[in-house]
Amino acid sequence: MHNAHLCCFYKYCLILDEVFFCSIQMKFTLNPLADGSLVLKLSKKQVQILMSDGNKRVVVKCAELVHHCAILNDKTIGYFLRIGKAHHKKWGLTPGMSIDALIEKDSSEYQFEMPKPLEAVLDSDEEAMRFWIAITPGKQRSLLHQIGKIKSLDLQIEKSLLLAERLKMGIKDPVVLLRPN
């Protein structure tokens, strides 16, 4: 394998039908950003492997924690993964902390966790599902995030039903889709 010198960073690498699947298992130090979020810095080589198929979406796994995110790039920081304040507070992560993390290419359908109430609504409403499939992946992820961050299951169900109705009305703007009446 031409990337054999990188093996110390990677738990496994497979070539299947010319598609390269990799994961990186290593210790990362969490660095703070001005907005209060934390970052895991990545090297150019790690990014090249993770983005070999052009997709910048990854999943970070640390113990029982799972976080879907994108590989970002900044002139001053370089390549990094961002963990927002809500996630790192919930998980008890602090700046300077070292964590063992597994980073994998995100091969999930929506590259974000699908809230159960929304999944049930879309599975039961074919018309809403057709409109859901028609919106862009970025808008889908935004809506998944908006509904998934709601703590109340009843409110998640209410927002999922509202989303289905508004999708069928032809509304595509994520802000309008979930706005209260």
The pLDDT tens digits of the residues spanning 40-91 come to 999 998 898 888 778 899 989 888 788 889 999 999 999 999 998 888 888 8
Percent above pLDDT 70 for the chain:
88
**Edge-to-edge strands, sheet with 98-105:** 10-16, 19-29, 98-105, 57-62, 65-74, 78-83, 38-42, 31-32
Identify which has the larger pLDDT, 134 or 21: 134
In sequence order, the β-bridge partners of residue 146 are none
168 vs 109, more confident: 168
Helix (H), strand (E), coil (C) string for the chain: CCCHHHHHHEEEEEEECCEEEEEEEEEEECEECCCCCEEEEECHHHHHHHCCCCCCEEEEEECCEEEEEEEEEECCCEEEEEECHHHHHHHCCCCCCEEEEEEEECCCCCCCCCCHHHHHHHHHCHHHHHHHHHCCHHHHHHHHHHHHCCCCHHHHHHHHHHHHHHHHCCCCCHHHHCCCC
Residue 181 has pLDDT above 90, yes or no: no
> Which stretch of DSSP H or E encloses residue 95?
none
For the stretch 78-87, what's the b/e string if a residue is b when 16 or more beta carbons lie within 10 angstroms of its beta carbon? ebbbbbbeeb
Q: What domains lie within the chain, and their CATH numbers?
A: 4-105 (2.40.30.100), 116-177 (no CATH)
Question: What is the pTM assigned to this prediction?
Answer: 0.69
Mean pLDDT (the chain, rounded): 83
pLDDT at 97: 92
Tens of pLDDT, residue by residue over 20-39, are: 456 778 888 999 998 889 99
Instruction: Give residue for tokens 């961050």.
Output: 149
pLDDT at 16 over 50: no
Paired tokens of 172: 């595509």
Among 118-122, 136-140, 148-152, 176-180, the range scoring the smallest mean pLDDT is 176-180
